[in-house]
Amino acid sequence: DAKTTQPTSMDCAEGRAANLPCNHSTISGNEYVYWYRQIHSQGPQYIIHGLKNNETNEMASLIITEDRKSSTLILPHATLRDTAVYYCIVTRDHNYGQNFVFGPGTRLSVLP
């Protein structure tokens, strides 16, 4: 699975959009981009995933560049409860089971 690079930390003002970047320049054609977040000492929470098209759900939007070498997770109106570590993971469908490789992620602080 391709490796990802994320900024160590970011700040965002409450109510503003939080844009979290992820670089995955070695991504293969059959690899998906997943985003999870982990609020302090809780289990990671699934946010969204996509292959090449932009995706949106009730939590966030995922924008994947046309060359698929990078992506951005957008939280449209960040709240204090969005303060967490955000993980970008690139993986493909392994027929022997999924094994997510988590990097250090981005620590997002939403400030009042």
How wide is the angle at C-alpha 86 spanned by C-alphas 85 and 92, nearest 5°? Answer: 140
Given the complex with another protein, which of 45 and 65 has the nearer CB atom? 45
Q: Is 13 among the residues that bind another protein (CB under 8 A)?
A: no
Instruction: Lay out the sheet containing 45-50: strands in order across.
Output: 9-13, 106-111, 84-91, 32-38, 45-50
Applying CB under 8 A, does 59 fall inside the site for another protein?
no
| Minimum CB–partner distance for residue 46 and another protein (Å) | 6
Token pair of 101 as six digits: 């490789």
Residue placing its CB nearer to another protein in the complex, 97 or 112:
97
Read off the DSSP letter of residue 104.
-
Position among 44, 64, 71, 84 found at the interface with another protein (CB under 8 A): 44
Q: Among residues 29, 53, 58, 104, which is the contact residue for another protein, using CB under 8 A? A: 104
With respect to another protein, which residue has the nearer C-beta, 12 or 44? 44
Nearer to another protein by C-beta: 41 or 67? 41
Give 5's DSSP letter: B
Site for another protein in 83-102 (CB under 8 A): 87, 93-94, 96-102
Residue 111's contacts (CB-CB under 8 Å, 6 or more residues apart) are: 11, 12, 13, 14
